[in-house]
C-alpha cells in the first residue's frame, strides 16, 4: 500500500507539473500575442503622427515618395517620376520638377524635407512649361521607414521669355 501511495503521489505531482508548464507556456504565448498587437497599434499611431506632422502646414504639399505620378508641390510646380534609393548615410531622391507656370526661373532652389531631415535641390534653369531632372541626397533617413516628404520652392530669379 505504501508503494501505491508513492506511485500515486509521483504521478499526481508529474501531472501537476505538466499542467503548470502548459499554463506558463499558454500565458507566455498570450502575452507575446498581446505585445505584438500593441506593437502593431503603436506602429499605426506613429505613422499617423508622422503623416499629421507633415500635413500640419497646409501651404506645403505632401508628396508620396513611392509614387511616380505627377504631384503638386506649390507655386505652380509639380514633381513626378520620383525614385528613392538607399545610400550609405541615408537616401537619394531623384525625379523631375515641372514648371507649370508661364514664368521661367534661373538658379531655382527647392527644399526637400523627409521626416525632419532637409536638403536643397538647385536647378540652373527651369523654363515656363518645362521640366528638369534632379537628384538630392538626404542623410540619416532609413529607406524602409519613409513614404512622405515636403518639397517647397524657396528661391530663384524670375526670367521672362
pLDDT digits (tens, 9 = 90+) for 17-57: 777 777 777 777 778 787 788 777 767 776 766 666 655 55
The H or E element containing residue 95 is strand 90-99
pLDDT in tens, 61-106: 789 998 889 999 888 899 999 999 988 888 999 999 999 999 999 9
Domain extent listing, the chain? 1-56, 62-159
Three-class SS of residue 126?
strand
Angle at alpha carbon of residue 99, lines to 122 and 127, rounded to 5°: 80
* E strand residue ranges, 100-144: 104-114, 117-126, 131-139
Domain 62-159 has CATH 2.60.40.1620: yes
Q: What is the pTM of this model?
A: 0.63
Amino acid at each position: 500500500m505504501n508503494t501505491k501511495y508513492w506511485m500515486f503521489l509521483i504521478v499526481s505531482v508529474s501531472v501537476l507539473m505538466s499542467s503548470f508548464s502548459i499554463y506558463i507556456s499558454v500565458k507566455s504565448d498570450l502575452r507575446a500575442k498581446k505585445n505584438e498587437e500593441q506593437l502593431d497599434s503603436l506602429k499605426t499611431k506613429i505613422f499617423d503622427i508622422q503623416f499629421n506632422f507633415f500635413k500640419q502646414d497646409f501651404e506645403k504639399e505632401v508628396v508620396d515618395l513611392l509614387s511616380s505620378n505627377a504631384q503638386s508641390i506649390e507655386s505652380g510646380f509639380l514633381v513626378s517620376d520620383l525614385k528613392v534609393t538607399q545610400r550609405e548615410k541615408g537616401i537619394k531622391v531623384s525625379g523631375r520638377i515641372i514648371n507649370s507656370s508661364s514664368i521661367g526661373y534661373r538658379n531655382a532652389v527647392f527644399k526637400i524635407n523627409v521626416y525632419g531631415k532637409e536638403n536643397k535641390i538647385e536647378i540652373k534653369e527651369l523654363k515656363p512649361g518645362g521640366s528638369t531632372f534632379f537628384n538630392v541626397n538626404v542623410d540619416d533617413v532609413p529607406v524602409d521607414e519613409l513614404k512622405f516628404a515636403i518639397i517647397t520652392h524657396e528661391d530663384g530669379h524670375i526670367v521672362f521669355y
